[in-house]
Amino acid sequence: MRGILLTILLLAAVSAQAGEVIVKSNDFTSSKVCAHCHKNIFNTWQNSLHSSSLTDPIFRASYLEAYHETQGRASQVCMPCHAPLVNVNKDFDLLKDITREGVSCDFCHSVKDVQLSASGPNKFVLEPGLVKRASIVNTSSPSHQVAFSKLHKSALLCAGCHEYKNSLGAPVFTTYSEWKASSYAKDDKPCQSCHMEVQEGSTVAPGVSPTAQTTFNVHTIAGGHSVEQLKKSVEVEIAEVRRVGDKMSARVIVTNVGAGHMVPTGIPTRRLLLKLTAKGQNAVLYETERVYEKVLVDKDGRVLTKDWEIMLHAKKVIKDTRLKPNEPRAEIFNLNLPKNSDPVVVSASLFYDYRPQVVEETPMSMELKSVKKAVPAAQ
C-alpha cells in the first residue's frame, strides 16, 4: 500500500515537472522551459543585454520619453527589435509574459530567414513551433525537433536588428554593413566568431540526453557594456615625439585592431576619445583630445544627442570620424612647451565615452589604453 502511494506521488511529481517543460507546437515557448535542459546556455543568455532588452534601465528611460512624445506610437517603432515577438503576436502593449522576455531563446531559434530589403524594422521570417534551428549537425532532442541552419552561423541573423534605417531614411545602425565592407566578412568571420565564443561545457544538463557536443557557444554576447570586450578593440601608440627648442610634436596612432566593425558602432551616442597630455615635473603643461563619433541631425539641422530622438527624428549623418575595422589613424599634435620645462612626458589614453540619460545624464567613461613617452630634453 505504502509502495503504491509512493509511486503515485513520484509519478505526480514527475508529471508536474514534465508539464513545465513542454515546448509549444505552434507558438513561442518561454525561455524558462529551454532552461530546464539548456542550463549553461540559459545562464549565459541571462547575463546578456538581449535578455534585458526591455528591462535595461537605459532602454526604459529612453522608451518612456519616446512613448510620451509620440502618444504611444513609439511602441510600433521600438518593440520589433526590443521585444521582437511582436513581429508575430502583435502584442505591442506587452500584455503577455512571453513578449516581455525580450530577445529570447525561442525568438532567435525560430528565425528561418532575414530579408534585409524588407521595409520597416521587421525583417524576420519566423516559424515558431517545434523546430529549433542552430548549427549542430545530426542531433536530436527529446522535446523538440532540430534543424541545421546556415543562417545561425551567419552575420545576417544579427543584421535583422543591428542594421537599421529609420522612417526618415537615416542610417541609425550600420554595424552589419560596416562588417560587410571589412576583411572579416571576406575571411568568413561573422559576428558570432567574436561575440559568441566557444566554451568547454555541455549544451544540455546532465541526464537530459546523450550529446556528442563537449562545448557550447557563450550567449552573453558582450559589447560596449563590457570593459573586457572594449579593451580588445583598440590600440594606441606614440609613434614619434620630436622637439626643436620649445616646439614639440607628437605623432600618435590609434588602431581598430579587434572589432569587426567601426569603433564605436551601433547606437550613435557613444564616442571614443583620445586624450593627449604633456606633463612637466609638477604640472600638466598641455592637454587636448580627439573625438571619434557619428553625428546625426534632424530635418532642421539640429544635432541629436538622445538615443530615442535619433531613432525617431534623425534625418542625416553630418559627421562620421569613427575608426574602420583594421584602420590605423595617425594624429599629429603640435604644441609649444613653456621654457625650462624639462623633463616632459607625453601620454596618450583612449576612453570609451557614453552618456545615457537614465534619470539625469549619467556619464560613463572607461579608460581602454594608455601609453607614455619621455620627451627629448631641450637643446
Smaller CB distance to ligand HEC: residue 155 or 295? 155
Give, as ranges, the residues between 162 and 181 that touch ligand HEC (CB under 6 A). Answer: 162, 164, 173, 175-176, 179
Quick note: the x/- pattern for ligand HEC over 180-219, rule CB under 6 A, is: ----x----x-xxxxxx------xx---xx-x-x--xx-x
Residue 155 sits in the site that holds ligand HEC (CB under 6 A) = yes
Of 85, 98, 109, 314, the one binding ligand HEC (CB under 6 A) is: 109
Output the nine-digit C-alpha cell for 124. 524576420
Minimum Å gap between C-beta 373 and ligand HEC is: 25
Distance CA 376, CA 284 (A): 17
325: how many CB neighbours lie within 10 A of its CB? 21
Distance CA 52, CA 46 (A): 8
Smaller CB distance to ligand HEC: residue 286 or 356? 356
Specify the DSSP element, H or E, that contains 284: strand 284-292
For every residue of 109-173, DSSP letters joined together read: TTEEEE-TTSSSS--EEE--SSEEEES-SS---SSSEEEE-GGGGSTHHHHHHHEEE-TT--EEE
Minimum Å gap between C-beta 26 and ligand HEC is: 13
Residue 59 sits in the site that holds ligand HEC (CB under 6 A) = yes
Of 101, 132, 170, 353, the one binding ligand HEC (CB under 6 A) is: 132
Residue 86 sits in the site that holds ligand HEC (CB under 6 A) = no
Of 128, 144, 250, 286, the one binding ligand HEC (CB under 6 A) is: 144
Smaller CB distance to ligand HEC: residue 250 or 312? 312
Smaller CB distance to ligand HEC: residue 38 or 279? 38
258: how many CB neighbours lie within 10 A of its CB? 16
Quick note: the x/- pattern for ligand HEC over 1-20, rule CB under 6 A, is: --------------------
Residue 108 sits in the site that holds ligand HEC (CB under 6 A) = yes
Of 136, 156, 257, residue with least CA distance to 198: 136
What stretches of the chain show up as alpha helix (H) in DSSP? 2-20, 31-37, 39-46, 57-69, 74-82, 86-89, 105-108, 156-162, 175-180, 183-186, 191-195, 227-231, 307-313
* Largest Cα span, the chain: 103
CB 325 within 8 A of CB 155: no
Residue 103 sits in the site that holds ligand HEC (CB under 6 A) = yes
Minimum Å gap between C-beta 277 and ligand HEC is: 24
CB 374 within 8 A of CB 345: yes
Of 99, 174, 233, 341, the one binding ligand HEC (CB under 6 A) is: 233
Which region among 55-63, 88-96, 243-251, 291-299 touches ligand HEC (by CB under 6 A)?
A: 55-63
Residue 322 sits in the site that holds ligand HEC (CB under 6 A) = no
Smaller CB distance to ligand HEC: residue 176 or 286? 176
DSSP reduced 3-state for 346: strand
Distance CA 333, CA 247 (A): 11
Residue 98 sits in the site that holds ligand HEC (CB under 6 A) = no
Output the nine-digit C-alpha cell for 186. 571576406
Residue 146 sits in the site that holds ligand HEC (CB under 6 A) = yes
Query: With CB under 6 A, what is the number of residues at the site for ligand HEC?
Result: 103
User: Facing residues of 26 across strands?
Assistant: none
Quick note: the x/- pattern for ligand HEC over 257-296, rule CB under 6 A, is: -xxxx-xxxxx--x--------------------------
Of 86, 101, 224, 254, the one binding ligand HEC (CB under 6 A) is: 224
